A = this chain, B = another copy of it.
Amino acid sequence: MLWGLKPVEQQAAYGLAVTHLKRQVHMGMVLPGERLPAERKLAEQIGISRVTLREALRVLESEGYISVKRGASGGAFVAPEDRLREMALKRLSGDPRGVLRIFEYRAAVEPLAAQLSTVRRTPGDLRRLDEALSEIGKATNAGELRRGEAAFHLAIAQASANPYISSSIEDALASLFMPLPHGLLADQVGRSSLLRGNVVEAIRDRAQQKAEQRMQLVIEYEHARVSDSKAA
């Protein structure tokens, strides 16, 4: 038999921290320009020592994700939206097929998640979905819109009550920072609200087929949006 040729590679703690923090940025859990918690606090929160965290911060800094300032009211600040968008586009152009891979995958899994959610949703799930919709509706810049959308997709993943689906959706979302196209923010917010609101409505009404179909639409729309960004 082909005996485990691939070596078991142990990730260093600082490497895991780098990955973790990048995901937060990619999914918009922390917005461009925002300050991260102080080193001592952040280290405790993610369960590593401060020295180790600092190694991770150095990596993120060198890759342009954050910039660190010292002194009072200093700290680690996420790069501005434009810088992030630039980095994202660079990655997209480096691997043109990557986007297709992500979306063909999401197109299979997320509609399933929506469909399952119609049956398994808890009151807490519905609350999270409403909150996400509300954040999308109130978004006043690209970062906030992205964060709301990420929250929406993660909430549906959670509502599906299937750990395989959950973790794979999270991976797919986090694996790529999806830039929003420049353009009228109001338009983006409007379409995002409408399409995703319809999904939530179907989930609330326990309408399996509708939920599935409408989620499919969301994915298709988002795929198109990313492709447009790439073209521009």
Choose from B16, B45, B168 the contact partner of A10 (Cβ within 8 Å). Answer: B16
Residues of B within 8 A of A102 (CB): 164
Cα A169 to Cα B199 in complex, Å, equals 27
- A163: CB under 8 A from chain B? yes
Question: Known: A10-B16, A47-B9. Contact between A162 and B104, CB under 8 A?
Answer: yes
Interface residues on A, range: 35 or more
Query: Which interface residue of A1, A8, A9, A20 has the most chain B CB atoms within 10 A?
Result: A8
**CB <8 Å contact, A108 and B105:** no
Using CB atoms, name the residue of chain B closest to A162: B101
Closest Cβ of chain B to A109, distance in Å, is 6
Contacts A2-B29, A116-B104; A48 near B8 (Cβ below 8 A): yes
| A172 on the B face (CB < 8 A) | yes
A79 to B199, CA, bound (A): 49
Whether the pair A24, B4 counts as a contact (CB closer than 8 A) is yes
Q: How far is the CA of A115 from the CA of B149 in the complex (A)?
A: 29
Closest chain-B Cβ to A10's Cβ sits at a distance in Å of 5
Interface presence of A87 (CB below 8 A)? no
Report the separation of the CA atoms of residues A18 and B126 in the bound assembly, to the nearest whole angstrom. 39
Chain A 11-35 per-residue mask, 1 if CB under 8 angstroms from chain B, else 0: 1110011001100100001100010
The answer on a CB contact under 8 Å between A12 and B13 is no
Q: Which of B4, B104, B112 contacts A108 (CB 8 A)?
A: B112
**Pair B29/A1 contact, Cβ less than 8 Å:** yes
Q: When the two chains form their complex, are residues A11 and B9 in contact, meaning their CB atoms are under 8 A apart?
A: no
Residue A139 interfacial (CB < 8 Å): no
